[in-house]
Structure 1
Amino acid sequence: MLITDWARQALPAMLDDLRAVVEVETHSYDKAMLVKGLRAIRARAVGHLGTPDDEILHEGGQHGDILELYYRGTAPGTVLMLSHYDTVWPTGTLANWPFTVVDDKATGPGVFDMKTGLVQSVWALHGLRELGLPHPSVRFLFNGDEEIGSPASREHIERASEDVLATLVFEASMDGALKTARKGVGLFNVSVTGVEAHAGLDPDAGANAIHALAEIVTTLATAGSREFGTTVNVGMISGGTGLNVAAGRASCGIDVRVTDPSEMGRIDDIFDELQVSDPRVKISVTGEWNRPPMMPNPGSERLFKEAREVASGFGWLVDEAAVGGASDGNFVAALGRPVLDGMGAVGDGAHARHEHVLIDHIPERLSLSMGLLAALA
């Protein structure tokens, strides 16, 4: 049986698996549900692939745990398959937004980002085994903290990606295109401390932290660079205690995205040099660069070329895309290791209520995954 034929006949069972994992909600900040969700994922993987040749569970502390399942292949080398199982959707979302299949769409919290890709990764190895096709060893790594920056799983991802033939990231595709470049991400907070005073009785005695923060926000709003692909977004702001009080405190949260690694230093300098007109105001900046940019390297370029040839053999054209969002693939690429992202679903609506996957494309994406694994053998 051809890979594409097998993938098409596997679709109903894959949708059953997808329903099972979507219906266990796994919000990044709900540890109890993350534990339950990971158990459901392991049960599905072991049900299709049998007992792994090696299994490691890394405690995630307050974050989701990290599960590695290793299955020995029939050819030399190992491929790392990365999938996160946490979602941005709070527990309880499923009550008024259940997993639903209508026409060519499946919808539900986390279905696009990225539980379809997670299911697909397991079925890719399952399919190759069923068809008796050669394949490298496979190490699955499922982490439950990607949506909040992978604070617990980063070290395990970096270790697991060492000395592998390739790292395949099963994040959703970009309209079917594989993701070969992603922006780096910095998450920062600026806190301002002023001097409280009665806004009417003694306005000159106050140093209004909100007014000072407004100056800072204006500076940050112009810190981006279209030329270099840098964006700076002040996404949260808070401060003050009353309308008639010169605010003593104010703060804002900032999301920075960079394509060019050199831009990280420029943005750092801007934060270091922040000033406001009132000298009584104190400024504090906290935060860090959460993910480095994912930039193409020779190994990743070869990997994309291989994937494109596999797709061509099936009669499809696969493009590549650079995107503004980050993933765990950023960590791998920053180490100069071959990585290919966007192996997962075709659909739309990541982090939005119209999140969905296009069902007719699932067999195609599964075929591409299976074909690439076989080619790497």
Structure 2
Amino acid sequence: MNQTQLKATQWLAGQFEAMEALLHRLVDTDSNSYDKVGVDAVGDLLVAQLNVDGIGVERIAVEGFGDVLLAELPGGPGKPVLLLGHRDTVFPKGTTTTRGYTRDDKLAYGPGVADMKGGLVLNCFALKALKRAGPLPFPVQILYTGDEEIGSGSARVHIERHAKAARAVLNPEPGRVSGNVVSARKGGATLIIEVSGRAAHSGVNHADGASAIQALAHKVIKLHALTDYAAGITTNVGLMSGGTSSNTVAPTATAKLDVRFVELRQWDEILTAIQAIVDHEELPGSSARLLEATTFLPMEAKHSTDLLGIYQTLAQELGFSVEGEFTGGCADSGFTASLGIPTLCGLGPVGGKVHTDREYLELDTLVPRGQALVATILALGN
């Protein structure tokens, strides 16, 4: 490592207590995706931390969800490095009143401790370390968003806009249980299928009806047949509802479909096939429409290869080793990778059992992963 990298990593070596203190405060602040007040409160804690070091933060107002925050550390004229971080969690408002931040000798627990409040701490302290390391050859930005857990509907436009101008994107989502980082992710979408039929009394004039449930059942079989394990494509109707009573031919039915895919090119093909199934009239008198609820694009490995090599080399110098790992879970890094921007994910502290009441973070990974993050950022000027 060069002198700038050493200066930044050495400063971080003495910051464990401060990093954990911020983690504690963040975890003890409820921030469900639909709790704008809570998500913005998490943002306020981060802004206060950054402002202490004179790091400016722009607030982009978002109606109904957490505001988007853009922190920037100025540098030379080069393209910036962009760090991502979502402030929302899956846990309902009020969770922290009965299950807040706790810890033992090795692990920290609490709602969102790994996914991804630990990563928020790393981003924040990365900028604080870089501020102390001296003049930067390029700016470094953090984009703190507020609705990743429900598809980044309000944040995607901001993520893509800033990623297009970046030299690279680093996303400290939780490190894998194995200790690895994430070099590739599946894309995924939640689609809603609404079927309309024709109501009739099931005993008096059954033949006059057109069952929306029956039509939907035919579609579900066809949708599930699109699964192709060899290609990494899966389809799953996980929720269905319909009808009004057992003695009425169902006039309506609805299903939620989860779709996962590996490559960006697959998405258009799958969506075309799904649309054809939805459009097909299964029964005379029935019709259906397809609605797109959320979509995450895939993070293909080809966009992380060079960054992974840099990160691995620096991690070795810092005393730990990682591999790149593929996961079926989606994240905002898929949006940036799908733009062709070099992207690496899973750079946060190591954690596990995310989205459960047993979610944990390995405390002794806070500092090393932070050091590897700042060292990687600084290496991108070479």
Equivalent-residue separation in structure 1 for 2:317 and 2:185 (angstroms): 27
**Aligned 8 A contact 1:347 1:358 in 2:** yes
Tell me what 1:350 maps to. Answer: 354
Work out which of the residue numbers 231, 252, 271 in structure 1 matches 2:274.
271
Distance 1:70 1:128, change over 3 A: closer
Q: Does 1:196 align with 2:196?
A: no
Match of 1:182 in 2: 185
| Residues 283, 162 of structure 1: alpha-carbon distance in 2 compared, 3 angstrom cutoff | closer
Runs of 5+ unmatched residues, structure 2 = 1-5
The partner residue of 1:172 within 171, 174, 183 is: 174
Tell me whether 3-12 or 120-129 shows the greater mean CA deviation.
3-12
Q: Is 2:23 the partner of 1:21? A: no
Find out whether 1:246 has 2:249 as its counterpart. Answer: yes
Given the alignment of the two structures, is residue 30 of structure 1 paired with residue 32 of structure 2, yes or no?
no
Equivalent of 2:301, from 289, 296, 312?
296
Q: TM-score, normalised by structure 2?
A: 0.90
Residues 321-336 of structure 1: pairs in structure 2 closer than 5 A: 321-336=325-340
The 8 Å contact of residues 111 and 356 in structure 1, kept in 2 or not, is answered as yes
Aligned pairs (5 A) from 1:1-377: 6-47=11-52, 49-52=53-56, 55-73=57-75, 77-130=79-132, 136-175=138-177, 176-274=179-277, 275=280, 277-287=282-292, 290-297=295-302, 300-377=304-381
Q: Deviations along 1:215-248, whole A, 9 cap, x unmatched? A: 2222222211101101112122111111222211
Displacement, 1:95? 2.0
What per-residue deviation string (whole Å, max 9, x for no partner) do you get for residues 69-110 of structure 1? 111247955211110101111111112221111231111111
AA paired with 1:79? V
Please give the alpha-carbon distance, in whole angstroms, between the structure 2 residues aligned to 1:148 and 1:140: 20
* Structure 2 residue identity aligned to 1:107: Y
Judged with a 3 Å threshold, the aligned counterparts in structure 2 of structure 1 residues 209 and 319 are, in CA distance, closer, same or farther, namely: same
Q: In structure 2, what residue type is equivalent to 1:140?
A: I
TM-score (norm 1): 0.92
**What is the Cα deviation at residue 156 of structure 1?**
1.5
Whether the aligned pair in 2 keeps the contact of 1:74 and 1:135 (CA below 8 Å) is: yes
Query: Aligned residue pairs: how many?
Result: 373
Task: Please tell me whether the aligned partners of residues 192 and 293 of structure 2 are also in contact (alpha carbons under 8 angstroms).
Answer: no
> How far 1:308 moved relative to its partner?
1.0
Query: What amino acid is the match of 2:276?
Result: E
Q: Give the distance between the partners of 1:126 and 1:290, measured in 2 at CA.
A: 33
CA–CA distance in structure 2, aligned partners of residues 262 and 70 of structure 1: 34
Structure 1 residue 305: Cα displacement = 1.0
Aligned to 1:207, the other structure's residue is in SS state: coil
- In structure 1, stretches of 5+ residues that fail to align are none
Distance apart, 1:33 and its partner CA: 2.1
Q: Distance in 1 between matches of 2:320 and 2:143?
A: 29
How far, CA to CA, are the matches of 2:76 and 2:269 in structure 1? 48
The separation in 1 between residues aligned to 2:254 and 2:77, in whole angstroms, is: 55
Farther-moved stretch of structure 1 (286-295 vs 336-345): 286-295
What is the distance in 1 between the residues matched to 2:87 and 2:336? 19
- One-letter amino acid of the counterpart of residue 147, structure 1: E
Query: Is the CA contact (8 Å cut-off) linking 1:112 and 1:348 kept in structure 2?
Result: yes
Q: Secondary structure at the match of 1:115?
A: helix
What's the CA shift string for 1:316-372, capped at 9, x where partnerless? 221001111121111111111111111112111222222111112222211211221
Identity, in percent, stands at: 33
User: Do 2:164 and 2:339's aligned partners in 1 also have CA atoms closer than 8 Å?
Assistant: no
